[in-house]
Structure 1
Amino acid sequence: MRRKNRKVAAAVAVLVFCLLAAGGMAGWMLYEKKTDTSNSNLRQALIKVDSVGKLQPAYDLIVAGTDPEGIVAALSAARNGLSVLLVDGRDRDILGGLMTIGWLNSLDLNYSPEQSKLSDKHQFLNKGIFQEWYDQIEGTSFDTHTAANVFYRMVLAEPNIDLLMKVRSMEPIVLTSGEAKRITGLNIVTGEGEAKQVGAAAVIDATQDGDIAAAAGVPYTIGRADIGRPDAQMAVTLVFRLSGVTQEVWDSFATIGDGTGIDKMSAWGFKAARDYVSSNPDRVGIRALNVGRENDETVLINAMHIFDIDPLDPASVQEALEIGSEEAPLITEYLRKTYKQLENVEFAGTAPELYVRETRHMQGEYRLTAVDVVDNRDFWDAIAYGSYKVDIQRINAVDRGAIIVAPKQYGVPFRSLVPLEVDQLLVVGRAASFDSIPHGSARVIPLGMATGQAAGVAAKLAAERGMTFRELSKSEEAIGELRGRLTEQGMDLTRASFKEPDYMKHKHYKGLLAAVSMLLTFGGDYNEAFQLDAGAMAGHFSNSMMMVKTIHPDFFKGNPYAALEGLEEPGQLPLTLDQLAYGAAVTAGVEVSRDSALDELKKRGWLAAETIETIADPNKLTNGETFSLVRDIVQHYVGVVYE
């Protein structure tokens, strides 16, 4: 019996050993796959893109714009049985727009909060047609030829799509009846100069700047007008190419340090790039590099910031291209001298189109807010989800830009695609109905592609039911049907499981929501910079009140810095409750002394008693306490609540 038991024990031990060995081997293979940086892909020749030979007089749907968002919208509608005209008005030879002609080949991805440690594949939000496209490219960055060809093959596979490139102009046909407006198609001048009137039951505006919606009469804001700065918008970028990046050179990037890293197709970091001295410092600068690999030993560099450009003005756009083309070789030479890993690379040209981050923000049935993103808010009509950080790039040479918040997962309502005042029109991509702060996250292309898929299915559903998009947006039953169809067609509209961020549990969370909405604070890459329990400073509070004044100028007409008179080194001086009240009162134009300001604000009802009760030390306010007090003032004086 003992001998039999020994044999069984030995067999079990061997089995356990084999299982452990197999598990170890599988783990090692997974590690090798995750850390493999070799790129054996060959560069594809670009497939020639042909326009349709004969336009139909009318289509079920016209999609304006051949950026990724428009391509996905056309694919989605066509797969749902609609006849679609996909039309381009930017003199392009290939599909993909910003990705393939603006050379933005590094993706700002919407990662799911749920990531498997047992897989070498990233898990993304939304999936759907974006995932279908992503699975055919190289990785987190891609070769622009590959991306363009995949887009074109996907379009060619849909017989319901007519593609029309290089039109000279396209303008909306709008019928007006009283105050009601309805888009019924586009007036198009083809590349050959032939004028065509093309009818459509619906139109999706997927142009980068919302050109069709603007021309149709949809109201919109420009840049940061919604927070009092209509002349401020994020810098534009001219991507440039470096050649001579062999596998050996690519792998050497991992030895740089300072946070620089690589995977198979992307590199990031190179923080010394920020020390570059521009030849034209008021107009152009650079940040740390985003590097996207191509399949021909070249890389594309997204780093240049060009300031004071109006992307809606062709002459200004041309100026930006010239400024960037002059600076790119100088930046290359700096990088060669700064990094030994780059000493043998060569400048190899600039992108044909600018990377424009921000222009028009349409006014829709719902406007996505900063609160929505910070709160990781879901919506009953969510047709896509975002998780990319709110990345506000520099607006001028002095500004440094900021990561406002790093959300986990927030919803994008269908109502944000439905513009005000014009029926049978949807807007997808960065020009949709987003406030300028959440736009810093919602503008990314993968999320725009998800909105495009939703818009295509919505066009089919609205046609079936004889509803306008506005009517559809107000029907919970119809939206439920839309979400169901999107799920059936490969989109993932589930809410991921994730731990609530610590800032959401803080007692001054509501104050934080107001502060973020007015750009009084930012969280950084990991929300570490909110520092709600850190001490607030008197000098910084005056800066905050200046921002409050900018956003609410009709209510705050005083000079917040006048409240600092008589204080020594206010930048190092803890903010007291009396000083906060005095600074707010002075900015509001209320005549008070520093000693009487608090009582005056209490008497006016601007400060809530329950907020004051939360203050631990009136002589040393924290950031969180300050945010809550400012929230009270704006709510009870201005009448605006950020929630």
Structure 2
Amino acid sequence: MLAASWFTVAIVSRFVPFSWVLFGNVPRKGLQLPDDAPAASRKKTIVGITSVVLVLGVIAAAGYTWLRSNDTVNTNNRQELAEVHYIEELQDSYDVIVAGTDPEGIAAAVSAARNGLNVLLVDGKNREILGGLMTVGGLNTLDLNYSPKKSSVPGKHNFLNKGIFQEWYDKVEGTSFDVNTAANAFNSMVAAEDNIDLLMKTQSMEPIVEAGTDGNRVVKGLRIVKADGTSLDISAPAVIDATQDGDLAAAAGVPFTQGRSDIGDPEAQMAVTLVFALKGVTQEVWDSFGKIPNTGIDAMSAWGFHDAANYVSSDPERVKLRGLNVGRQNDDTILINAMHLFGIDPLDPASLQSAMELGRSEAPRIVQYLKDTYSEFKNLELAYTFDELYVRETRHIQGEYRLTMADLMANRDHWDAVAYGSYDVDIQATSNTDTGFVLYSPLQYGVPFRTLVPQKVDGLLVVGRAASFDSLPHGSARVIPLGMATAEAAGVAAKMAAENNITFRELSKSTELIAQLRDRLTKQGMELNMNAFETPYYVKHKAYKGLVAAVSMLLTSGNHDNMAYDLDGKSNMQRIVYSMNRVKKQHADYFHGDPSAAIAGVDQPAEQKLTLDQAIKTIAHAMDNEKAESLTLDEFLNSGWLKQETINGITDQTALTNGEFFMVLRDVIEYYAGVVYE
């Protein structure tokens, strides 16, 4: 060891400038301690030299990682797509069937197989390759769940959950990736598991459902129509629905909401996107993107291009462009995620086809606009569009637990958390008049196993964006890395349910077995722990409970830094009218009046301070209370609709702050409408 250490020091000293500051002058012919040096001295020297060498190694590795993270050159070579091998002859039964070959389905199948289960993985979308949205849909830039605990290595990302997602991520280029690399990585992970049977290109698949106990239904397997028209019934005690839209769950009778119907806006759901590719991107062109104002690049990703949002489409009500998200490929192409398509019903094949045709006809016009707007795009041309649309939102199943905005705002852990999220609550536009926004930015929150367990149906788990999330927190929890984490948990849960001869619902209620589930996931490579972080300022604010209610009803948003809530800013007469109109949508059974009647005849209500009396009057009009004009604070208190402690918290009843109004409204929603946000 001494000789090796001296040799390393000599090499470092020879080739690393100024390393003599650490080592002194090192003779080129090698170093030796005197033969009569005490043993203790020799030992200290060995330890010292070895420590310095290790420190230098860490510094060198960190420096290399940092340099690579700040490098704009993509040195990766494009991979040829590997052939996907799938079977034609199926078994009559499997331990678990996983429906869907999106990343969540692959994670679920691999997890179940690694836990000793015999798995059938079924594709129902006529795909040639694995990876779904990432590969066939071209979504090659990841929305990631970063850990509050930063990596000690500069430039290296530290993600929540790790596990199978991290294993896949380590096979691709980075936060943006080449779709061929991604597809091959998914393929290699599936192919490595001998007990996964992969079936592609089915014409249809639907759950085999029987009557169960306690009024519940039970999924017993899948009825599959193969590409050649052959119909097969395949049985399995566990089915994992990893379809994007929760198709099996819906067919089995699982209750669900769609879009934002849970907050009284059933027609609203996030835009659909068609990803398209441009060709002709040299390194010089790529570097030029980074010189555009408010635009950034690294080796694989580019972001910004805010002037793109000024594009006027051929059909402004149905097509819009936002700032570009650009993912680089390992050739001369880039993929652009920016086209928003509105008025689409993703559950209607005809509507999807219409959206695809609209997007493909619009893509050349968009490319020409980019060429005209940015000189950096002048030599680029449209290469192709992708074969599947990026659908952000459809069904949200009703599970044993429903993830709420209160969970996210509290950065709440759960006793049965099987994944953790931290991505922004990213609410994309729902119409051409909507720009989208970030509602809230969490630090870390837990996703309970119960969100995967659907109500009223046994033998089934639902993973991915269709799991049991309210529509607003779904803006964060919908992202693929989190979905892959829940899917990994589902694979292990299938094993544990079989071992204990219990249903997933029974498993979800056992604190002992859930602890074992979390322990197995941890031993298999996941990280399931809450990190330490400072309590956010808004949680410590006196109006925090009111803020939770306001955010849950979409009355305010915080942006990326959660600083836009303006809790201590003064409210006004107009804002409360807007707020109560929003409340009417969500709680229509209790609020069906006209809050604007409270400001009839008021000049410039947005400039008028909000008094407590005016707040009471406006809320009463929203209730459609016949005494709205004369209802007093005392009557609200005596009716139990307001708590005295809330009134005591108001500093100036002649000029309410936003936070104070939120607290008043929270009381009314709880004690009049019976809904608690916490």
Classify the TM-score, shorter chain: over 0.9
Counterpart secondary structure, 1:52: coil
Task: Note the residue ranges of structure 2 that are not aligned, 5 or more in a row.
Answer: 1-17, 26-51
- Residue 393 of structure 2 is matched in structure 1 by 358
Q: CA deviation at 1:74?
A: 0.1
Query: Does residue 306 of the first structure (1) align with residue 313 of the second (2)?
Result: no
1:164 to 192, 196, 199: 199
Q: Deviations over 1:58-88 (max 9, x none)?
A: 0000000000000000000000000000001
Query: Does residue 197 of the first structure (1) align with residue 233 of the second (2)?
Result: yes
User: In the alignment, residue 501 of structure 1 is paired with which amino acid?
Assistant: P
Q: CA deviation at 1:119?
A: 3.3
Q: Report 1:239-258 matches (<5 A).
A: 239-258=275-294
Q: CA deviation at 1:100?
A: 0.3
Query: Does residue 121 of the first structure (1) align with residue 156 of the second (2)?
Result: yes
> Taking structure 1 as reference, are residues 265 and 410 closer, same or farther at Cα in structure 2, changes over 3 Å only?
same
Structure 2 CA distance, aligned partners of 1:461 and 1:600?
56
Q: CA deviation at 1:276?
A: 1.1
Q: Report the count of equivalent residues.
A: 632
Q: Report 1:11-30 matches (<5 A).
A: 14-15=21-22, 29-30=64-65
Counterpart secondary structure, 1:77: helix
> Taking structure 1 as reference, are residues 622 and 41 closer, same or farther at Cα in structure 2, changes over 3 Å only?
same
Q: CA deviation at 1:191?
A: 0.4
Q: Report 1:73-92 matches (<5 A).
A: 73-92=108-127
Contact 2:209–2:217 (CA under 8 A) maintained in structure 1: yes
Contact 2:419–2:482 (CA under 8 A) maintained in structure 1: yes
- Residue 92 of structure 2 is matched in structure 1 by 57
Structure 2 CA distance, aligned partners of 1:641 and 1:593?
24
Counterpart secondary structure, 2:661: helix
Structure 2 CA distance, aligned partners of 1:16 and 1:526?
46
Q: Deviations over 1:297-348 (max 9, x none)?
A: 1111111111110000000001111111111111111111111222211111
Q: Report 1:545-624 matches (<5 A).
A: 545-592=580-627, 594=629, 596-624=631-659
- Residue 8 of structure 1 is matched in structure 2 by none
Query: Does residue 522 of the first structure (1) align with residue 557 of the second (2)?
Result: yes
- Residue 293 of structure 1 is matched in structure 2 by 328
- Residue 571 of structure 2 is matched in structure 1 by 536
- RMSD of aligned Cα (Å): 1.9
Q: CA deviation at 1:17?
A: 8.7
Query: Does residue 234 of the first structure (1) align with residue 234 of the second (2)?
Result: no
Counterpart secondary structure, 2:134: coil
Counterpart secondary structure, 2:390: coil
Counterpart secondary structure, 1:214: helix
- Residue 413 of structure 2 is matched in structure 1 by 378
User: In the alignment, residue 592 of structure 1 is paired with which amino acid?
Assistant: K
Q: CA deviation at 1:373?
A: 0.8
Structure 2 CA distance, aligned partners of 1:395 and 1:26?
45
User: In the alignment, residue 540 of structure 1 is paired with which amino acid?
Assistant: R
Task: Note the residue ranges of structure 1 that are not aligned, 5 or more in a row.
Answer: 1-10
Q: CA deviation at 1:465?
A: 0.7
Counterpart secondary structure, 2:672: helix
2:175 to 129, 134, 140: 140
Bigger-Rg structure (1/2): 2
Structure 1 CA distance, aligned partners of 2:106 and 2:572?
50
Structure 1 CA distance, aligned partners of 2:391 and 2:63?
42
> Taking structure 1 as reference, are residues 146 and 598 closer, same or farther at Cα in structure 2, changes over 3 Å only?
same
User: In the alignment, residue 304 of structure 1 is paired with which amino acid?
Assistant: M
Which shifted more, 168-177 or 135-144? 168-177
- Residue 3 of structure 1 is matched in structure 2 by none
- Residue 381 of structure 2 is matched in structure 1 by 346
Structure 1 CA distance, aligned partners of 2:23 and 2:325?
46
> Taking structure 1 as reference, are residues 17 and 253 closer, same or farther at Cα in structure 2, changes over 3 Å only?
farther
Q: Deviations over 1:22-61 (max 9, x none)?
A: 6987775454222111111111111122321310000000
Structure 1 CA distance, aligned partners of 2:310 and 2:585?
31
Contact 2:130–2:183 (CA under 8 A) maintained in structure 1: yes
Contact 1:582–1:592 (CA under 8 A) maintained in structure 2: no
Contact 2:63–2:154 (CA under 8 A) maintained in structure 1: no
Q: CA deviation at 1:591?
A: 2.8
- Residue 4 of structure 1 is matched in structure 2 by none
Counterpart secondary structure, 1:98: helix
Structure 2 CA distance, aligned partners of 1:323 and 1:617?
55
Structure 2 CA distance, aligned partners of 1:587 and 1:113?
42
Q: CA deviation at 1:231?
A: 1.7
Q: Deviations over 1:595-639 (max 9, x none)?
A: 644343233221211111111111221111111111011011001
Structure 1 CA distance, aligned partners of 2:66 and 2:349?
49
Contact 1:424–1:469 (CA under 8 A) maintained in structure 2: yes
2:247 to 208, 211, 215: 211
> Taking structure 1 as reference, are residues 628 and 239 closer, same or farther at Cα in structure 2, changes over 3 Å only?
same
Contact 2:101–2:131 (CA under 8 A) maintained in structure 1: yes
Q: TM-score, normalised by structure 1?
A: 0.96
Contact 1:273–1:335 (CA under 8 A) maintained in structure 2: yes
User: In the alignment, residue 634 of structure 1 is paired with which amino acid?
Assistant: I
Contact 2:573–2:609 (CA under 8 A) maintained in structure 1: yes
Identity %: 60
Counterpart secondary structure, 1:582: helix
Counterpart secondary structure, 1:436: coil
Contact 2:62–2:154 (CA under 8 A) maintained in structure 1: no
Structure 2 CA distance, aligned partners of 1:165 and 1:641?
46
Counterpart secondary structure, 2:564: coil
Counterpart secondary structure, 1:59: coil
Q: Report 1:89-488 matches (<5 A).
A: 89-177=124-212, 179-258=215-294, 260-488=295-523
Structure 2 CA distance, aligned partners of 1:97 and 1:28?
36
Q: Deviations over 1:367-422 (max 9, x none)?
A: 11111011111000000000000011111111222211000000000000000111
Which shifted more, 598-607 or 241-250? 598-607
> Taking structure 1 as reference, are residues 593 and 473 closer, same or farther at Cα in structure 2, changes over 3 Å only?
closer
Q: CA deviation at 1:236?
A: 0.6
Contact 1:578–1:594 (CA under 8 A) maintained in structure 2: no
Counterpart secondary structure, 1:612: helix
Counterpart secondary structure, 1:309: coil
